[in-house]
Amino acid sequence: MFAITPNILSSFMNSLSRYVILLSLILISVSIFLIIFLENDYYQGISFKIMFIHVPTAWLSLAIFLVMGISSIVALIFKSPTAFTVARSLSPIGLIMSIIVLVTGSVWGNLTWGAYWVWDARLTSMLILAFIYLGHILLLYSFEHFQKADFAASVLAIIGLVNLPIVKFSVDWWTTLHQESSVFRIGGPSMTNDYLITLLVSFFGIFMLTIFWFSNIFYIIVEKRKIERSKLLND
């Protein structure tokens, strides 16, 4: 299991990446088509359609951090270079996702609640998640040797895992302005099927885009290291 080197993973993902990006483009264009022709919500009107970007990116920003944390645990315990590189290439994607969540959320909030930002538990914990992503990236670039950087950043990722259940369950544990979950809730999704299908199509489109993006960043890191290594050998 731990015989997967960064090279093998990189070339495996590269062989699939053209299909992944094709699938992602198809799903995203289908979801745009669906979103445009979808009937408005009875209460919020057209502004609820921000949900179809907001919710998939929110799920992904949490899921990316979960993968990052787990691969950091594996990396620290088994000293696996592949797991370190996976964590390293995921954090910029997670940061962009959480920024998209915060921006679309505040636009939506202004249209519905009447405020761009409030300090309730969900919004604050999401902001902390974005800051942990930022800290992870900063730690990765503040050491001269990448092994040291990887070590420090994975400790941060493991500690940051504590924040994930807080983001997810903040709307259930405390009273918040943010509404509760609509899809993963007791008693089934609280939206009609056409909305749910659009949401899932949009999610899988953005998910495939994330995988494509991840494989590209991973590839670049692996190739950069190869060049650096050959330079060191030639000197």
Q: Which residues bind another protein (CB under 8 A)?
A: 38-44, 48, 51, 73, 76-78, 111-115, 118-121, 155, 158-159, 161-162, 166, 174-177, 179-182, 185, 190-192, 194-195
Residue 74 or 86: the one with the smaller Cβ distance to another protein is 74
Residue 14 or 182: the one with the smaller Cβ distance to another protein is 182
Report the alpha-carbon distance of residue 143 to residue 158 in Å, rounded. 19
Residue 106 or 176: the one with the smaller Cβ distance to another protein is 176
CB of 163 to another protein, least distance (A): 8
* Lookup: tokens for 30: 């289908």
CA-closest candidate to residue 211, choices 67, 30, 4, 29 = 67
CB of 229 to another protein, least distance (A): 26
CA-closest candidate to residue 60, choices 208, 219, 186, 184 = 208
Residue 12 or 78: the one with the smaller Cβ distance to another protein is 78
CB of 114 to another protein, least distance (A): 3
CA-closest candidate to residue 58, choices 183, 193, 173, 188 = 183
Report the alpha-carbon distance of residue 147 to residue 140 in Å, rounded. 9
CB of 184 to another protein, least distance (A): 11
Burial of 84 (0-12, 13-18, 19+ CB in 10 A): buried
CB of 111 to another protein, least distance (A): 8
Contact 59, 205 (CB under 8 A): no
Residue 15 or 179: the one with the smaller Cβ distance to another protein is 179
Residue 77 or 227: the one with the smaller Cβ distance to another protein is 77
CB of 7 to another protein, least distance (A): 24
Residues comprising the chain, all counted? 235
**Cα-Cα-Cα-Cα dihedral of 88, 14, 6, 100, to 10°?**
10
